[in-house]
Amino acid sequence: MNVKIKHLGISLLVIAFVTIPLYFLTPFLIDLFLNPQLYIKIGGFFNNYSVSDFQVLVLSILTYTSVVLIGYVAYLIATASTRAELVSNFQNQNLLASKFELEELYENAPVPYITINKDAEIRGCNKSALRFFGVVPEEIQTKNLFAYASDEDIELAKKINDFYEADVPINKQEIRLRTKNDDIKWVSLSIFLTKDAFTNEKNGLVTVFDITEQKQLDQAKTEFVSLASHQLRTPLATMKWYTEMLNSNQLGEMNPKQKEYLTKMYSVNTEMIDLVDILLNVSRIEIGTLSISKQATNISEIIDSILVELASQINKKKIVFNKKYGDTSFVVESDPKLLRIIIQNLITNAIKYNKDGGSVTIGMEKGFGIGQSSITVSDTGLGIPKEDQERIFSKLFRAKNVKDVGSSQSTGLGLYLVKSVAGALGGNISFTSEENVGSTFTLRL
Amino acid sequence: MEIQNTTNQGEATQSDVATNAVVTKKKILIIDDDENLTSVLVDKLNFSGFEADFSNDSTLGLQKAIETKPDAILLDVKMPNMSGWEVLEKLRVDSWGEKAKVIMLTSLDKPESVAHAMEEGSTVFIVKTNYTLDQVVDKIKEVLHV
């Protein structure tokens, strides 16, 4: 519309510039046409030409040309700006189109987006955010974002707010938010810092990923492990104590065959307890609920208590134990419970896969930094075949040469657990092994 | 090492007193909702020279503890209605129960449970599957210094 008006104006201007000088020039031109002898005479044009007439002629021609020139320049300038405007209009339209596209993306994105001002008050949000909170735009605008934190996470919300105030972006912070219907939802919250285009004030773009379902699944898994650990272990503990009671002769003497059967029951039950323990620990590691509490841990005490526990197996196979460490006050900063799981598995393996009358050597070296202390368990047993060595720490993997030996006690979980737990403790496990000579496992802490 | 020495001496004097005095059986109360477990524990403790009593309900167990004032209480952690931790909390409010010797029994072996037991002022923490009956008896003797 504007462009058309401008074109009309420019046309009128050009017409005016051409017609006005023509109006003044026309009488002279008519005079020239009707009385050419007044101006042109053969042999003496200038002689018969009056000064005033000549002046009028020159002036008129000059005026005419200059006016036409000015008009033309004005026309050029005017159309140039119109052209520029056309180009910029085209660019504006492109901008508008991409702005519209971005707005569509923002509005209809499946992730709730919220923009906040420097005081964490909500300036606006997209449809997904409205759906998430169950509100209309008027209800959410100008409210403080952190007022939506659930009661349990108020402290955490304050902390996040402090970070935001200190211009620290927030990256995937898990927090519980309360919606309008008082539903508590777990979200992964991020805040990107932006600046207002006009006032240059700090703003925040907030994304809230709903992770409630994921959390519920995690919770269900954790509950399962806790349930299984209670429900499976309780009857096993009961069985353990009943068989022990029967076997103790306190209820009357048993004949040797009865005693033998009871002893078998007892040892199978103990294996079952160990298996449940391993399964539970593997689940804990995989779910990520394995908790670590480090403290000063005396390793030789752990080793001694394990040897007491394994005494019957050691005696049965007539295994000779060598402790290659003088210092029994060997203390490391670690989790005793988890360290015990590692060492117990290593020693059990060293006994289980040993020859009758073989030997097991335990060594310790104390260092002064992370990865500088080490515990080694060596045996003179079956060893691990070369082709199986790469996969020995894999879950449910069992080396070829042990598949026939002690198949009832081997789960393929022991070394997997050892490696996982060692990793969780910030340690590292390695080994050297030769088939039919033996293996040496080294735990570095 | 020093600490161990002093406890050893403490134990020695305690057992001297026990042998010199007229032998009275130490009373143990077991609070555990698992009837099978309580029954074998009661038998074992009675055979081992204690006077064992039990309750399969946490609320009644707490009442019984305050009424009978046993020398030690074996307290299960996971029980319906009221958990072992709640029983312990209520017990510590009582004038006698404040100093009662409590051994927590559990099927779980999570480290945080042990930490919890320490905080609550309970003396010993027993993971059922890890202990033989003989070891349970030893623990009770250790707690009672006999």
Q: Does A1 score more than 70 pLDDT?
A: no
Cβ neighbours for A18, distance < 8 A, ≥ 6 positions apart: A67, A68, A71
Asked if B24 reaches chain A (Cβ–Cβ under 8 Å), the answer is no
Consecutive H or E run containing A193: strand A184-195
**Distance set, CA A418 to CA A122, A127, A168, A339, A441 (Å):** 50, 49, 39, 9, 11
Mean pLDDT of A167-187: 90
Residue of A nearest to B79 (CA): A230
Task: Identify the residue whose tokens are 């000549």.
Answer: A54
Instruction: Give the integer Cα–Cα distance in Å for B3 and A433.
Output: 43
The string of DSSP codes covering A235-250 is HHHHHHHHHHHHHTTT
Query: pLDDT exceeding 70 applies to what percent of chain A?
Result: 93
Q: What residues contact residue A139 under an 8 Å CB cut-off, 6+ apart? A: A180
Mean pLDDT score across all residues of chain A: 84
CB B69 within 8 A of CB B98: no
Q: Is A381 helix (H, G, I), strand (E, B) or coil?
A: coil
User: What is the pLDDT confidence band of residue A17, given thresholds at 50, 70 and 90?
Assistant: confident
State the pLDDT at residue B2.
Answer: 39
Structure tokens that stand for A272 in this block? 């079952």
Lowest mean pLDDT segment, chosen from A97-101, A123-127, A199-203, A289-293: A289-293
A245 touches chain B (CB under 8 A): yes
- Residues of chain B neighbouring A241 (CB-CB closer than 8 A): 37, 40-41, 44, 132-133
State whether residue A277 sits within 8 Å of chain B by CB. Answer: yes
Structure tokens belonging to residue A84: 């520029």
A92 near B CB under 8 A: no
Hey, of A232, A241, A273, which one would you mutate to test binding to chain B, going by the most B CBs within 10 A of its CB? A241
ipTM: 0.75
Sequence-distant (≥ 6) Cβ neighbours of residue A246 within 8 angstroms: A254, A262
Q: How far apart are CA A302 and CA B125, in angstroms?
A: 17
Q: Answer whether residue B21 shows pLDDT above 50.
A: no
The domain ranges of chain B are 23-144
pLDDT in tens, A26-72: 777 777 777 777 666 544 555 555 556 666 677 777 877 887 788 78
**Cβ-defined contact of A335 to B115 (cutoff 8 Å):** no
For residue B103, the cross-strand partners are B74, B124
Nearest by CB: B40 against A234, A242, A293: A242
**Does position B49 have pLDDT exceeding 50, yes or no?**
yes
Which site among A233, A239, A274, A291 would you substitute to test the B interface, given the most B Cβ atoms closer than 10 Å to its Cβ? A233
- Which pLDDT band, with edges at 50, 70 and 90, does B7 fall under? very low
Find out whether B96 and A322 touch, Cβ atoms under 8 Å.
no
Q: Are B35 and B41 a contacting pair, CB within 8 Å?
A: no
**Interface contact A294, partner B, CB < 8 A:** no
* Residue B11 pLDDT: 43
**pLDDT value at A184 more than 60:** yes
Which residues in chain A touch residue B133, judged by CB atoms under 8 angstroms apart?
Answer: 241, 244-245, 248
Interface touch A273/B129, C-beta < 8 Å: yes
What is the average per-residue pLDDT within A129-158?
90
Selecting from A238, A240, A292 the residue whose C-beta is nearest the C-beta of B34 gives: A238
| Cβ <8 Å between A233 and B129 | yes
Residue B118: predicted pLDDT: 61
In this complex, do B129 and A240 lie within 8 Å of one another by their Cβ atoms?
yes
Provide the residue type at A326 as one letter. G
Look at residue A70 in the predicted model and tell me its pLDDT: 83
> pLDDT value at position B1?
38
Whether A310 contacts A347, CB under 8 Å: yes
Contacts of A413 (CB under 8 A, 6+ apart): A278, A279, A282, A395, A396
Q: What is the pLDDT of residues A375-404, one digit of tens each?
A: 999 999 999 999 999 999 988 888 888 876
> Do B111 and A291 lie within an 8 Å CB cutoff?
yes
Q: Considering Cα of A85, then A86, then A89, then A95, what sign does the dihedral take? A: negative
Considering CB atoms only, which of A226, A237, A248 is closest to B37? A237
Chain A within 8 Å of B39 (Cβ-Cβ)? no
Q: Within the 79-118 window of chain B, which residues sit less than 8 Å (CB to CB) from chain A?
A: 107-112, 115
Amino acid A144 reads N
Q: What is the pLDDT of residues A71-89, one digit of tens each?
A: 788 777 777 777 788 888 8
Q: How confident is the model at residue A441 (pLDDT cuts 50, 70, 90)?
A: very high
Contact B40 A241 (CB under 8 A): yes
Q: Which residue type occupies B93? A: V
Residue A76: per-residue pLDDT? 79
Could you report how far apart the first and last alpha carbons of chain A are, in Å?
80
pLDDT band at residue A25 using 50, 70 and 90 as cut-offs: confident
More confident residue, A15 or A177: A177
Question: To the nearest whole angstrom, how far is the Cα of A260 from the nearest Cα of chain B?
Answer: 18
Q: Is the pLDDT of residue B45 over 90?
A: yes
CATH class of the region B23-144: alpha beta
Q: How many CB pairs under 8 A join A and B?
A: 61
Distances (CA, A) of B33 to A389, B6, B30: 48, 37, 10
